[in-house]
Structure 1
């Protein structure tokens, strides 16, 4: 009877290796997709009641690529709900209904409260302190309500910075997909009903909780602040008229 074949040590090691394929080089499609998504996220589509259109030919010319990767990138963005291609009309950036926006803001509240928890664990004291610099220009002599556009920029920077302090790339990516709509609604509402004055108080309270490393308070303050925006949008349908 033949003895069992002995397996060499080199064969044993090879059998246990778990190999992954090399990541393919970035294609024109993924580069165009990233550039176009970034541009769309930074659009102010809720600043006008008219639909926002983007032109395939202009995109091709500005990016210096053929129309094929542009069409492929647009198809990816269409699957994600950012745009819609309409035959013989072009590519329309999609706005959301009031109920959809409310749900997006509620989702942002949940994601940002988790980001706050992670920021307390991972961010340094100087990084947290840097949040205060966003509002340093505002005070009695320079009231947020009197400088709504300026405050709106600081407001958006605050929320994006909070997400970034989590050190979670997944949270950054998930909120990026909400940013186009949440950002636009924040810009539209910040100058209404003296919301800016209340907003800066909320932000400073969140920063104080972060500085104390008070996770429970920071999470609650962050969540309540953003859910307040959701409730305001829910009560003011005229924003979407």
Structure 2
């Protein structure tokens, strides 16, 4: 049996600060390339500088921010390579998701997916909420597959996808296009048509890729 050290009180505070700063980065409330000031963050969050400093160190280890000697710490920029790598993995994972889903998905589960779709459709004017619900839609697909490791991979990629996705939905018409693409995925699932569902997923990710590339140029 494993024995664990007691969790220090400051540890949960560090995690809370970490999540707050990371979400601000993902939502572009702190935009790519922006500097991070410990004093400003500690005052804004109502905490001492210690958990802020620890959270920033963790964010740097995970590749969200980077430090420049004698200049400070900055939010990483969204690079084309970063976007390409994430989207390549999405193609592989979501194609597999369709293969696993088609034989087992029920009408009740499709109805739940449609409810998420309806909620996302109602948030077209709010980019942050739209992208957050977009994540929920794709997570739900993964969870319904029954493959726990696939779900873990999706969770690992989801923060990066939300960060990248904010740029994509800024393009005129992209939110409406995204909804149409999700509708096509649902149609493939309703028909239990594997080829249709896979093609809908691949088209969705390719259109996302094109939108991201356009936004980065």
Q: Same fold (TM over 0.5)?
A: yes
Contact 1:105 1:182 in 2 (8 A): no
Q: Structure 1 length as normaliser, TM-score?
A: 0.67
CA RMSD of aligned residues (A): 3.4
Match of 2:216 in 1: 240
1:217 to 196, 204, 214: 196
Measure how far apart 1:228 and its partner are.
2.9
2:24 corresponds, among 32, 36, 39, to 39
What is the Cα deviation at residue 56 of structure 1? 1.0
Distance 1:204 1:231 in 2: 19
What's the offset of the Cα at 1:33?
1.9
Please state if 1:150 is matched with 2:125.
Answer: yes
Gaps of 5+ in 1: 1-18, 139-148
Q: Does structure 1 residue 30 correspond to structure 2 residue 12?
A: no
Q: Do the aligned partners of residues 112 and 202 (structure 1) sit closer, same or farther apart at CA in structure 2, a change above 3 Å counting?
A: same
For residue 53 of structure 1, report the CA deviation from its aligned partner: 2.5
Please give the secondary structure, in 2, of the residue aligned with 1:150: coil
User: 2:170 matched to 1:188?
Assistant: yes
Could you say which residue in structure 2 is the equivalent of 1:159?
A: 134
Offset at residue 215 of structure 1 (A): 4.2
Q: 1:85 to 1:119 in 2, by over 3 A?
A: farther
Which runs of structure 2 are paired with 1:225-236 in the superposition (5 Å)? Answer: 225-231=204-210, 233-234=212-213, 236=214
Match of 1:202 among 169, 181, 191: 181
In the alignment, what sits opposite 1:16?
none
2:74 matches 1:92: yes
Q: Which moved more, 1:69-78 or 1:100-109?
A: 100-109
For 1:101 and 1:159, locate their aligned partners in 2 and report how far apart those are by CA, in whole Å: 17
Aligned residues between the structures: 204
TM-score by length of 2: 0.73
* Contact 1:82–1:94 (Cα < 8 Å) also in 2: yes
Aligned positions of 1:74-93 closer than 5 A: 74-93=56-75
Q: Larger Cα Rg: Structure 1 or Structure 2?
A: 1
1:14 corresponding residue in structure 2: none
Deviates more, 1:21-30 or 1:170-179: 21-30
Residue 181 of structure 2 aligns to a residue whose secondary structure is helix
Structure 1 SS opposite 2:125: helix
Residues 1:96 and 1:214: Cα distance change in structure 2 (over 3 Å): same
